[in-house]
Chain A
Amino acid sequence: MPLIPADHPLPEVDFDLVGPPVGQRFPELILPNQHGDLIDLHESRGNRRGLVVVHRSADW
């Protein structure tokens, strides 16, 4: 299967409007991790730079 459908273009999306905007602090976020521990994103990040990945299921 190709990685992008060749015959049917996907709907246009303005990604500037998806998720927190550039220039603003990433919102507070607290979620459980794979160990069941609650992770406060900014507290865990401390003063480090960060990569926050958003993706579909690991069980696809």
Chain B
Amino acid sequence: MQRTAAEREDVFVAAISYDPVATLARFATEFGIAYDLLADVGSVEMERLGMLNRTIADEVAAWGLVFAARHDRVPFPGVFLLDEDGVVIEKKFDRSHRVRPSGSVLLADLTGEELAPAVSGIATGPGVGVTAWLDEATFFPGQRLYAHVRIEVLDGYHLYVPPLAEGYVPLRVQIDQDPTLTAEVTALPAGRPFRVEGLTEEFSVVEGIVDAKIPFYFSDEAAGDAALVIRIGYQACTDSVCLVPEELRIELPIAYLPIPRP
């Protein structure tokens, strides 16, 4: 959890683990954490609340590790979002302790406030203008962040989206991956049905503004500043003519933060 959420007085933040008070005190001092770190020694309360990971032995084996005392009675890593009455309005769990949400993103999810772009870039091509931005200008390994891409399709043009017959070029938005960077598949909005006079195929097309949000994270091997390369492949068409397929490229720098994960 980044400090951004905890620095707001209108939001309560607490983190629960099985650590004793002394361990939490050391950790809070070392990393300047002001919000409450709660000591649930023996995971008694986490068990009562049904949060313990009962499959941990299988997971440890999946990692090729030997089960140790520290694995015993760990919870699933997650976050509960509470409203003003303390009612759970959303809960988010990760399958691995190695990937975790960004504090800023959680705060935005809780409050409904939009995050200002921290880093942005633009590109233009035939029939489209594209803006891409990141919610955060920094990362630390395992932090799940989001790249946003907004494609503005010029009036009179449309872009194909899947499902699409072979031979046509669908809109594609992706982040270049490498051994330290994992990006999930970009979900694109569903298109509207579209037919071309004289052809039997039915197409799906998007027009106007098309937004995409791509989750990504860096692995433990990432040890320095990086750049996200976002590629947007597409073919812009009017009702009567298609332009040559294009690929636009936007590069967004992101700085490494060497903060260990709790």
Contacts and interface: CB of A to CB of B under 8 A. Distances in A.
Given A13-B95, A19-B50, A58-B262, A51 B79 contact: yes
A24 B96 contact: no
Interface string A13-47: 10101111111111101011111100101101111
B110 A2 contact: no
B36 A39 contact: yes
B107 interface: yes
A52 B37 CA distance: 10
Interface in B62-113: 62-64, 70, 74-91, 93, 95-100, 106-107, 110-111
A34 B40 CA distance: 11
Contacts of B11: 48-51
A48 B82 CA distance: 9
Contacts of B62: 5, 8-10
Given A29-B45, A41-B14, A18 B95 contact: no
A33 B110 contact: no
A56 B79 contact: no
Interface string B1-37: 1000100001111111111010111011000010011
B24 A58 contact: yes
Given A1-B220, A13-B95, A34-B28, A54 B36 contact: no
Given A18-B93, A51-B110, 16 more contacts: A4-B182, A10-B95, A11-B55, A11-B59, A13-B76, A25-B88, A26-B82, A26-B86, A34-B36, A48-B12, A51-B81, A54-B16, A55-B77, A55-B97, A56-B70, A60-B97
Interface of B: 1, 5, 10-19, 21, 23-25, 27-28, 33, 36-40, 45-46, 48-51, 55, 58-59, 61-64, 70, 74-91, 93, 95-100, 106-107, 110-111, 141-142, 182, 217, 219-220, 261-262
30 contacts: A1-B219, A3-B141, A4-B182, A8-B62, A10-B62, A13-B55, A13-B76, A13-B95, A18-B78, A19-B49, A22-B90, A25-B85, A26-B80, A26-B86, A27-B49, A31-B40, A33-B36, A34-B37, A35-B21, A47-B85, A48-B12, A49-B84, A51-B79, A55-B100, A55-B262, A57-B23, A57-B70, A57-B74, A59-B27, A60-B70
